[in-house]
Amino acid sequence: MKTERTIKESLKGLGRNKTRTFLMMLGIIIGIATLTIIVSAILGAKSKVMEKVAKFGFDEIAIFAGAGRVQGVPQDTFTITLRTEDGEAILAEVKNVKGLAPSFQAQGIPIKSANGNTDSTVFAVTPSWAEVWDTPAVAGEFITDEDLTSLARVAVIGQTVSKELFGGEDPVGKQIHIREVPFIIKGVLQAKGTSPGGQDMDSRTVIPLTTGLKRLFNKDYITQIRVKLRDPGQMTKTVEEIKHLLRERHKLQAGVVDDFTITTPTQVTEVATQVSTALSLFLIVISGISLIVGGIVVGNIMLISVGERKQEIGLRRALGARKKDILTQFLFESVAVTVFGGLVGVLFGLASGKLLSLFTKLSMVVSWEPFVLAFIFSGLVGVLAGISPARRAASLDPVEALRS
């Protein structure tokens, strides 16, 4: 029996009982659809993470103020020792540092205007902040050295703050109150969207560092230093150099942990990847179980089909079909059912994923991977599920089969 005839006979066999064929496909459709949604969601999550890490900057690191502890000795009080002088020392002594921006950050600060009020994350910064954070003023101007020297009460606000306080009006030159202290808006920041941590980066208000520390927050330390590198390839070495320098400047002895935290885009990516991988493995196992159950259903229904089609099998054997031809026919039927079910499952999964992305914050990415996985997994399930029924069909005695 030629291959073309085998395929035709297999398709005819499947077409004679559409309900049975659909039931065999159903488990595969559900399993592959689930797998497709998972793969699309994983790719979407990775894409979002990389997009947010890109906003952080692949050539930048962040140094956050922290609290040192002596190992084994409990401490109830914490001392924040990160200061602007530390930033100056890093810029002067670490060769791979291209630029940096020290800042003091405070979240949930109330800001009022004549038209409304809102809460904002306030950054007290130096003029270098705009370049290092890649967030220039798109209206008006940014903080200047003169603003630092004169402790000027001026502010540059984010797009979200501008909309909430002034609607569609131009805010430049207007007055706002930050913690009841009056400030004049001198600029509006470029829109940046959300941060790697999910915060609204446009809900920011930027003021001069000296003004913030002395007039608004009454602090003598900073909370963060953002560092831009010349060569990102030397990031690990540079982090070690900065760590050594800060420990030396803060007089941290052996046994005392760092009173600062250095965060790199690599660390952010690794954490996101680890979480994504663990969740992915769990969900893929669930999909695998669903496919196994679908394969068992296919195998059992194929076995029932063999019993119902004994006369057909006996007739084919009587007309010259070999055991190999019968084996191939039933094996092809099994694979055809699972592969077609897999393709339907992919389409159903992609459609379901799109609907999920419309009604949830889940990001879905359509790519070629689900189609390849569907073809491989469904084909494998078809072969495994069809081997036993195909062997049974091929081993039937033609005479006995015709008598049944």
Q: What is the pLDDT of residues 19-39, one digit of tens each?
A: 777 777 787 888 788 778 877
Q: How many domains does the chain have?
A: 2
The answer to whether 33 and 345 are in contact (CB under 8 A) is yes
314 and 179 within one domain: no
84 and 117 within one domain: yes
- Let me know if residue 57 belongs to a domain: no
- Let me know if residue 385 belongs to a domain: yes
- The secondary element (H helix, E strand) that includes residue 65 is strand 60-65
229 and 80 within one domain: yes
Separation CA 50–CA 53 (nearest Å): 5
Separation CA 255–CA 299 (nearest Å): 64
Task: Count the neighbouring beta carbons within 10 Å of the beta carbon of residue 233.
Answer: 11
Question: Domain boundary residue among 226, 258, 290?
Answer: 258
| Closest by CA position to 208, among listed 228, 178, 180 | 178
Question: Domain boundary residue among 204, 239, 258?
Answer: 258
Q: Where are the alpha helices (DSSP H) in 193-264?
A: 209-211, 235-249
Asked if residue 374 has pLDDT above 50, the reply is: yes
User: Rounded to two decimals, what is the model's pTM?
Assistant: 0.60
290 and 169 within one domain: no
335 and 227 within one domain: no
What is the per-residue pLDDT for 9? Answer: 60
Least confident residue range of 62-66, 145-149, 354-358: 354-358
Amino acid at 40: S
- Let me know if residue 77 belongs to a domain: yes
- Let me know if residue 240 belongs to a domain: yes
What is the per-residue pLDDT for 295? Answer: 80
What is the per-residue pLDDT for 215? Answer: 92
Query: What Rg, from alpha-carbon coordinates, does the chain have?
Result: 33
360 and 239 within one domain: no
What confidence tier does 71 reach under pLDDT thresholds 50, 70, 90? very low
What is the per-residue pLDDT for 226? Answer: 94
249 and 124 within one domain: yes
273 and 254 within one domain: no
Which is more confidently placed, 283 or 265?
Answer: 265
Task: Count the neighbouring beta carbons within 10 Å of the beta carbon of residue 178.
Answer: 22
- The secondary element (H helix, E strand) that includes residue 13 is helix 3-16
What is the per-residue pLDDT for 98? Answer: 93
* Residues contacting residue 39 through CB under 8 Å, at least 6 positions apart: 367, 369, 370, 373
Amino acid at 49: V
239 and 357 within one domain: no
- Let me know if residue 61 belongs to a domain: no
48 and 143 within one domain: no
Separation CA 267–CA 387 (nearest Å): 48
**Cα 308 versus chain centre, distance:** 50
What is the per-residue pLDDT for 186? Answer: 97
- Let me know if residue 263 belongs to a domain: no
Task: Count the neighbouring beta carbons within 10 Å of the beta carbon of residue 11.
Answer: 13
Asked if residue 206 has pLDDT above 70, the reply is: yes
* Residues contacting residue 250 through CB under 8 Å, at least 6 positions apart: 68, 81, 259, 260
What is the per-residue pLDDT for 129? Answer: 95
- Let me know if residue 221 belongs to a domain: yes
What confidence tier does 70 reach under pLDDT thresholds 50, 70, 90? very low
Separation CA 93–CA 243 (nearest Å): 12
76 and 219 within one domain: yes
- Which DSSP symbol is given to 155? E
Asked if residue 281 has pLDDT above 90, the reply is: no
Please give the mean pLDDT across all residues of the chain: 81
Question: Domain boundary residue among 223, 258, 293?
Answer: 258
The answer to whether 287 and 34 are in contact (CB under 8 A) is yes
What is the per-residue pLDDT for 110? Answer: 95
- Let me know if residue 264 belongs to a domain: no
148 and 280 within one domain: no
Domain with 115, as residue range(s), is 67-258
